[in-house]
Structure 1
Amino acid sequence: MPRGVVRRRVLRHNSQNAVTDVVERVTLADGSTLVHKRLRAPSVDSGGAWAASQDPRHWNYWRREVDAYRGAVLRSSLAGTGLDIPAADVEERAAEADLWLEDVTGKPGTAFSLADHTAVAAGLGRWQAAGPLLTPWTSEGFLRAYSASRPVPWQVLHDDAAWDQPLIRRTWPAGLREGWAQLMAHREQLLRVMEYLPRTRSHLDVWVSNQIRRPGGDVVLLDWAFVGDGALGEDLGNHLPDAVFDLLWPAQELATLEAACFEAYLGGLREAGWRGDQRQVRLGVVASCVKYTWLLPLALTQAGRDEHSAYHEVADSEHLYHQRGLAFAYLVGWCREALHLMNRQ
């Protein structure tokens, strides 16, 4: 542990994840700051949506970030891409590890402009043009395993009363119920196509709260806990809707964000020497809508609450459900585009 810690402040993080004991900003006696993240091992692999695992290929392997930060493989793979990873010191014991991370300064992803978002997309393209990053600790099968781990009240999708709740009727667009039924009907098909698309190195948790843009222009990606195998386009397919779901980009401007970021991603791929089929990249983006099948039924079950939040921040219920309803409808459009592209393969 660094000497002279004089203050600690817990930072917002997913406290449900069994891997994460604490995430905090520590201030040292000289006034400098670090981000401290403590990881903990499971005594045995257990159940639950955020259970930790001892399996290095599991999506929630407890010590993946130890290897990611300690070694040179991941860090060197990012060189020259426009993406970066925080500097880090690692202390490991038998059943836990401490990461002492650079407290990155710059513009947070929650304040990103369109130009900042396209910088992320272009950087992802340059990084992912090289294909898979094969190590003993990178994850495999993330999308299916993560999706299957969510506790989902699937029955609510067939509950007329749930769809007739006042908040749902006021805020969600017409036709969403039928559109989501189509997405659910093709869930397995979409998962399979995501598994057979061209593979590449993937962060697998790319969203604005995990991004900081340095003054020099590089975008630092935080939280490398899931890094591993993914489909081309999968990270971008996560980045875009997540910005809307947590009220960090207006749903009405999602098409603008998508168009700019997709072109930037393709440009980054080509700049780094990729010469593949653009249609497969597009399919990787839009078929990634399958990751969110669990989110709409959860929103239905929570619609009657007195208070709602977006990533732990209290939000206006009408605004939140209106924005998420538009985002759900947008994903239905992605599903239909994916099915069209799949039929042309």
Structure 2
Amino acid sequence: MKVSAKTEKEINIDPAYLQSLLRRIVPSKCLQLLLWDCSPLGKNKEESSVYRVSCTVLDNDREQNYALILKILKPDSARNQVDHYYYWKREALVYYSGILNLLPSGIRAPLCHAVEEYPDENVWIWLEDIAFESIQSNWLFTHMCKISYLLGKYNGAYITGNPLPNESFLCHTWMRSWVEVCAAYAKPIEEQKVIWDSCLIDFIGKSSMWELYHNNRNRVNSLLETLELLPRVFAHQDVHWDNIFIEKLNGSDSLIAIDWQFASISGVGEELGRMFGYALLKKKVPVNKVEEYKEELFLNYMQGLRDVGWDGNSKLARFGFTASSSLRFIMVIDKLISNLEKDDRINQKEKSRHLLLVTQALLKLAEESWSLRSQII
């Protein structure tokens, strides 16, 4: 057997188990594992690590190559509640349950070959290796519009007949949990105000912007309560350039989604709002084109909903979109406050300027969602 020394120290894969796993995948009783290698994908995180396991096998006197993805989830007592937005075990349970095999047409997840729990409580998920390199995208505007449309079709399937999964490990209050965690980590608002006033002396409009922030902080619970009354969909809740890809199936665009750790039962529009808010923070949505992106992405999402037969009030989806994207201001403004406390290097100033502009855009979205709320409740 071949395995790098570095990988062997990190993980201990039993060759006999690996061969038995390959025999489940490849219908051949003669298959024999000759050698294998394991290489990390991306950076190992505190909560998980991902590897590509490349294998060479002998099958009826012919050598063949196969690759599997191994994702290892690590236990975390701080995320050990099923209603936590990032319940540490959720992705393994989602794959093990088989609910991803019942996704509506137009979206799929990698095939899951096995889920194993070990004495150290780590959970190993063995997944299909998909050649994402050939379908990777730069997430330009036109690509984001396609994603939005396909998300609308995916979400819309659940409000036009597809049964919602009812497994207990799915989060039913995802946005509320995320907001609570962000608020718990944020500085108290009194401390934020002191830093705001002392560091934004020359910022024109700082008082009115702070007042807008303060008002919307007081509205958060009402927005969350209304989000939880929206038509329910099965949501991925982590849509971004590393997790969602477009492939062609029978000449039509279709989604491949990985990383299902945030899987939830959420309100219509939340999926798009989560995507938009994150893309704005990460500069995939230019801050000087927020309105253009916002309107086009929502129109595409609505078209997806309509094309699978949903004829409901578009303001419900609009509220889900604007409220869930705007609530990111809780995290972003705390990032801004923390950044303002640091030294005034040029790159720090540039980062603060970006966070300030993102905060303005999110607060504007929060105002829109508050106005919509009065129209739908």
The verdict on how the C-alpha distance between 1:93 and 1:261 changes in structure 2, with shifts beyond 3 A counting, is: same
Alignment pair present for 1:135 and 2:167: yes
Opposite residue 299 of structure 1, the aligned amino acid is: L
The verdict on how the C-alpha distance between 1:214 and 1:179 changes in structure 2, with shifts beyond 3 A counting, is: same
For residue 9 of structure 1, the aligned residue among 40, 64, 70 is 40
Superposition pairs for residues 54-69 of structure 1, below 5 Å? 55-69=81-95
Opposite residue 119 of structure 1, the aligned amino acid is: K
Is the Cα–Cα contact under 8 Å of residues 100 and 108 in structure 2 kept in the other structure? no
For residue 189 of structure 2, the aligned residue among 150, 155, 162 is 155
Is the Cα–Cα contact under 8 Å of residues 192 and 337 in structure 2 kept in the other structure? no
Alignment pair present for 1:234 and 2:270: yes
Once residues 100 and 300 of structure 2 are traced to their aligned partners in structure 1, the CA distance between those partners, rounded to angstroms, is: 22
SS at structure 2 position matched to 1:179:
helix
The verdict on how the C-alpha distance between 1:76 and 1:250 changes in structure 2, with shifts beyond 3 A counting, is: same
Once residues 340 and 234 of structure 1 are traced to their aligned partners in structure 2, the CA distance between those partners, rounded to angstroms, is: 17
Equivalent pairs, count = 323
Alignment pair present for 1:41 and 2:50: no
- TM-score with structure 1 length normalisation? 0.82
Query: What is aligned with 2:116?
Result: 92
SS at structure 2 position matched to 1:303:
helix
User: Larger Rg: 1 or 2?
Assistant: 2
Query: What is aligned with 2:304?
Result: 268
Is the Cα–Cα contact under 8 Å of residues 195 and 341 in structure 2 kept in the other structure? no
Query: What is aligned with 2:209?
Result: 176
For residue 51 of structure 2, the aligned residue among 24, 46, 49 is 24
Is the Cα–Cα contact under 8 Å of residues 332 and 355 in structure 2 kept in the other structure? no
Gaps of 5+ in 2: 1-12, 19-32, 57-63
**Which has the bigger relative contact order, CA under 8 A and spacing at least 6?**
1
SS at structure 2 position matched to 1:212:
strand
Opposite residue 174 of structure 2, the aligned amino acid is: F
The verdict on how the C-alpha distance between 1:202 and 1:62 changes in structure 2, with shifts beyond 3 A counting, is: same
For residue 123 of structure 1, the aligned residue among 123, 147, 150 is 150
State the 1:88 CA deviation: 2.8
Once residues 177 and 5 of structure 1 are traced to their aligned partners in structure 2, the CA distance between those partners, rounded to angstroms, is: 58
Once residues 22 and 218 of structure 1 are traced to their aligned partners in structure 2, the CA distance between those partners, rounded to angstroms, is: 27
Superposition pairs for residues 75-86 of structure 1, below 5 Å? 75-78=101-104, 80-81=105-106, 83-86=107-110
Query: What is aligned with 1:146?
Result: 178
Is the Cα–Cα contact under 8 Å of residues 41 and 62 in structure 1 kept in the other structure? yes
Gaps of 5+ in 1: 309-314
The verdict on how the C-alpha distance between 1:98 and 1:161 changes in structure 2, with shifts beyond 3 A counting, is: closer
For residue 348 of structure 2, the aligned residue among 314, 317, 323 is 317
Is the Cα–Cα contact under 8 Å of residues 128 and 201 in structure 1 kept in the other structure? yes
Query: What is aligned with 1:70?
Result: 96
**Farther-moved stretch of structure 1 (114-123 vs 30-39):** 30-39
For residue 328 of structure 1, the aligned residue among 350, 359, 374 is 359
Is the Cα–Cα contact under 8 Å of residues 11 and 25 in structure 1 kept in the other structure? no
State the 1:148 CA deviation: 0.9
Opposite residue 190 of structure 1, the aligned amino acid is: L
Query: What is aligned with 1:312?
Result: none
SS at structure 1 position matched to 2:168:
coil
Once residues 324 and 238 of structure 1 are traced to their aligned partners in structure 2, the CA distance between those partners, rounded to angstroms, is: 17
State the 1:158 CA deviation: 4.6
Once residues 110 and 348 of structure 2 are traced to their aligned partners in structure 1, the CA distance between those partners, rounded to angstroms, is: 35
Is the Cα–Cα contact under 8 Å of residues 43 and 49 in structure 2 kept in the other structure? no
Once residues 293 and 215 of structure 1 are traced to their aligned partners in structure 2, the CA distance between those partners, rounded to angstroms, is: 38
State the 1:323 CA deviation: 2.7
**Farther-moved stretch of structure 1 (30-39 vs 193-202):** 30-39
Is the Cα–Cα contact under 8 Å of residues 201 and 229 in structure 1 kept in the other structure? yes
- TM-score with structure 2 length normalisation? 0.75
The verdict on how the C-alpha distance between 1:118 and 1:12 changes in structure 2, with shifts beyond 3 A counting, is: farther
Once residues 145 and 158 of structure 1 are traced to their aligned partners in structure 2, the CA distance between those partners, rounded to angstroms, is: 22
Is the Cα–Cα contact under 8 Å of residues 244 and 323 in structure 1 kept in the other structure? no
1:52-91 CA distance string (max 9 Å, x none): 21x444433333222322343223223x22x321233223
1:164-201 CA distance string (max 9 Å, x none): 426x9579988432322222121121111111222211
For residue 197 of structure 1, the aligned residue among 218, 230, 242 is 230
